A = this chain, B = another copy of it.
Amino acid sequence: MVKISVISIGTELLKEKSNTNLFYISKKLFSLGLNINFCSVLPDNENVLTEIFKYHIDSSDIIILTGGLGSTVDDITIQTIAKFLNKKLVFVRKIYENIVRYFIDKGQELPQLVKKQAYVIEGAEIIFNKVGQAPGEKIVLKKDKGQKIIYILPGPPRELQQMFDEYVFVELKKYQTKVSKEVVLHICDIPESKIEEIIKPVIESEKKYSSDINFSILPHLNIVDLKITITSEDELKVDEELKLIKKQIYDCFEEHNLKHKIYAEDKQTLEQVVGFILGKNKKTLAVAESCTGGLLAHRITNIAGSSFYFLGGVVVYSNQLKMKLLDVKKETLETYGAVSEETVKEMCLGIKKLTGADYCISISGIAGPTGATKDKPLGTVWICIFDGKIFNTKCVRFLGSRLEVKEQAVNTALDMLSNHILSLLHHKK
């Protein structure tokens, strides 16, 4: 198989910046059944780049370099590679004109240093940049046995992605030998170990399939992603076996009466699922938050089009506001406390009265790091769903930081809402 490696250039990538370009390239190659052999992450340093580039040239067939094509003195990729290959840099008028036009269009003055970006390595094919300045380059090196291909792409993800998709990906398609596909099942509110137990029969039956099958379980904030990857030379077989295995997994969950806990597949989020169900059934939603402090409303409104079903919400951080805005009774707060089943029920009644929404969610809890009592430890959260008739309440204790408690509470609340609506619809049938 063709050996592909990546060189990610940028001091920040060693220090704090997530390597999104690597992930992007990796996902795209995966869809062709190709893998990145390895990746080197380097600082903006000429000596290190020279040394590492030599190693990649010796060990890989295709090398994809990203980053270091900017106009400042830090950006040394093109100069270093040209020097290593013993090639000149040549000025390309067309690139320079593109850059000039870019600044004119933005109504900005042309920075002096930017001319540097119009120089490319002698003999390189130019990959034009449609969304930024620095062009990409492709260099083919003839070697004793065959050739080495070098792609040089800019660091800003938007620019890299456009050039990768339109140029590099198209070229790499010819190396495709296998097909890999994956499906991710998203499950809320079931621990990782329980999921392993549930799907054990599927994992054990794996050998009966001819493709290469891989399961991975990734937990995060009360959600678990179960990823199934299948690779084979035969695309039809991949599709067929992926479908079979998915069905087997759903059946296993069904046996445990937990099928409804798989709330979505692939890129779908909980808030999308909730939005879809509400939109489809022409129902509206409003929320009343205490400890999640606006995160629930924020997550719901991240979905484009949420204004069709989301009326709004209140963040009642103080007890005064709980009483004033939502008519939570003083004696309820005094007798049971703000973090109690009684309070979240009254919060739901209050937001229903204010907004008239078909469905209401309320959340009250102790996000930490302070506020815990003997009976109510840190992370204790009460959640209530109200459909105008039935209250559905739940008390959970989440572990983790303040933000992690907020996230887990929101995930659980959204999952409760979608299950609540779906079971209502099911009963009506």
CA A89 to CA B392, docked complex, whole Å = 53
> A174 near B: Cβ within 8 Å?
no
| Contact (Cβ within 8 A) B293 A295 | no
Q: Which residues of B contact A210 (CB under 8 A)?
A: none
Interface string of A274-317 (1 = CB under 8 A from B): 00000000000001010011111111111011110011111111
Is there a chain B Cβ closer than 8 Å to A39's Cβ? yes
- At the interface, yes or no: A200 with Cβ under 8 Å from chain B? no
Interface check A324, CB cutoff 8 A: yes
Chain B, residue nearest A311 (CB): B318
The distance from the CB of A217 to the nearest CB of chain B, in whole angstroms, is: 9
Q: Which residues of B sit under 8 angstroms from A304, Cβ to Cβ? A: 368-370, 402
Does any Cβ of B come within 8 Å of A354's Cβ? Answer: yes
Find chain B residues with CB under 8 A from A27 CB.
15
Q: Is the CB of B306 within 8 A of A302?
A: no
Q: Which of A18-26, A80-88, A246-254 contacts B (4 or more CB under 8 A)?
A: A18-26
A48–B36 CA distance with the chains assembled, in angstroms: 11
A42-B38, A43-B38, A302-B403 known; A315-B312 Cβ under 8 A: yes
A193 within 8 A of B: yes
List which A261-283 residues lie within 8 A (CB) of chain B.
none
Inter-chain contacts of A287 with B (CB < 8 A):
315
A37-B48, A304-B369, A310-B317 are known contacts. Are A15 and B19 too (CB-CB below 8 A)? no
What's the number of copies of this chain in the assembled complex?
Answer: 2
- Chain B residues with CB under 8 Å of A406's CB are 298, 301-302
A111 at the interface (CB under 8 A from B): yes
Closest to A38 in B: B42
Interface centre among A297, A324, A367 (most CB of B within 10 A): A297
Residue of B nearest to A7 (CB): B38
Contact: A318 with B307, CB < 8 Å? yes
Q: Within 8 Å CB of A292, what residues of B?
A: 298, 301
Q: Is A199 an interface residue (CB 8 A)?
A: no
Chain B residues near A12 (CB, 8 Å)? Answer: 216, 218
In the complex, what residues of B have CB within 8 A of residue A16's CB? 23
Q: With a CB–CB cut-off of 8 A, which chain B residues contact A218?
A: 12
Contact A14 to B39, CB < 8 A, known contacts A294-B297, A321-B311: yes
- Please measure, in the bound complex, the distance between the C-alpha atom of A325 and the C-alpha atom of B305, giving whole angstroms: 22
Contact of A38 among B41, B311, B313 (CB under 8 A): B41
In contact, B354 and A324 (Cβ under 8 angstroms): yes
Binds B, one of A51-59, A90-98, A125-133, A329-337: A51-59
- Which of A41, A59, A294 has the most C-beta atoms of chain B within 10 angstroms of its own C-beta? A294
Report how far A314 CA is from B39 CA in the complex, Å: 47
| Contacting residue for A313 out of B296, B302, B315, CB 8 A | B315
- Which B residues are in CB contact (< 8 Å) with A108? 193
A26-B55 in contact given A297-B294, A312-B314, A320-B311 (Cβ < 8 Å)? no
B297 touches A315 (CB 8 A): yes
Decide if A161 is an interface residue (CB 8 Å cutoff): no
Q: Are A302 and B293 in contact (CB under 8 A)?
A: yes
Cross-chain contact B321 with A317 (CB below 8 angstroms)? no
How far apart are the CA atoms of A287 and B38 in the complex, in Å? 49
Is A355 among interface residues, defined by CB-CB distance under 8 A? yes
Contact A301 B293 (CB under 8 A): yes
A289 to B295, CA, bound (A): 13
- Residues of chain A at the chain B interface (Cβ within 8 Å): 12, 14-16, 18-19, 22-23, 26-27, 30, 35-43, 48, 51-52, 55, 59, 108, 111, 193, 216, 218, 287, 289, 292-302, 304-307, 310-318, 320-321, 324-325, 354-355, 367-370, 402-403, 406
Kindly list the 8 A-B residue pairs having the minimum CB-CB distance in the complex, ordered from nearest: A293-B301, A294-B297, A294-B294, A294-B298, A312-B317, A312-B321, A39-B41, A297-B315
Could you list 7 further interchain pairs (A-B, Cβ under 8 angstroms) beyond the known A38-B43, A312-B317, A314-B314? A15-B23, A16-B23, A293-B298, A294-B297, A297-B297, A298-B298, A304-B369
5 A–B contact pairs at CB < 8 A? Answer: A38-B52, A40-B40, A311-B318, A312-B315, A314-B314
